[in-house]
Amino acid sequence: KRILLEIFKERQRKSAEAGSIPSFYKKKPEDGSISNRVQRLAKYRFLKKQSELLLNADDLDAMWVCLRENCVIDDATGAEKMNYEDFCHIATVCTEQIGQKCKRFFSPSNFMKFEKDDSGRIAILPFYLYVMRT
């Protein structure tokens, strides 16, 4: 009886809580309020941090030069390609020249995203276009 009474009271309590609908809309803070200032500052810091992760035009040019200098030209097609060892070497060179923000593009999973030839090499142009889009 005691256990059933506890279960009954718990269900009554839950049904009383479920009767009130939670608020899902909140007014925007007023322009001069502290919460508005904090919100704007947080947004500014977030956008600044995200923009620091992006590669600028000079970084992209340096990466393209690095890719071209360390690739192998395919005899049959004339395309510039790199295998995984070249990919890792280019990653270290680019990280030295550009910084840590290019390191995220040189992961094994990114290498595996691209079409490989019989020798396991990928073309540098699709990889570079991927970096530019990202």
pLDDT tens track, the chain, 134 positions:
888 888 888 888 877 666 666 667 777 778 888 888 888 999 999 999 988 888 889 999 999 999 999 888 888 888 899 999 999 999 999 999 988 888 889 999 999 999 998 888 999 999 999 999 98
Residue showing tokens 């840590």? 100
pTM listed for this prediction: 0.67
Task: Report how many domains make up the chain.
Answer: 2
Give residue 65's pLDDT.
93
Same domain, 89 and 43: no
Phi, psi of 64 (to 5 degrees): -60, -45
The residue range of the domain holding 81 is: 57-133
Residues 41 and 99 in one domain: no
In this structure, are 45 and 76 located in the same domain? no
Write the DSSP assignment of 94-120 as a string of letters: HHHHT-GGGGGGS-HHHHHTS---TTS
Residues 101 and 120 both lie in one domain = yes
Amino acid identity for residue 86 in this structure: D
Question: In terms of domains, do 43 and 64 share one?
Answer: no
Whether 97 and 69 share a structural domain: yes
Q: Which two tokens stand for residue 82?
A: 């790199």
- Residue 80 belongs to a domain: yes
123, 55 Cβ separation under 8 angstroms: no
Q: Are 101 and 119 in contact (CB under 8 A)?
A: no
Same domain, 104 and 67: yes
CA geometry: angle 54, 57, 58, nearest 5 deg: 105
Is residue 111 a part of any domain in this protein? Answer: yes
Question: What is the reported pLDDT for 124?
Answer: 92
Dihedral in degrees, nearest 10, Cα atoms 36, 39, 43, 48:
90
Whether 122 is in a domain gets the answer: yes
| 43 located within any domain | yes
Same domain, residue pair 64 and 93: yes
- Say if 128 falls within a structural domain: yes
Residues 43 and 94 in one domain: no
Q: Would you state the pLDDT for residue 44?
A: 96
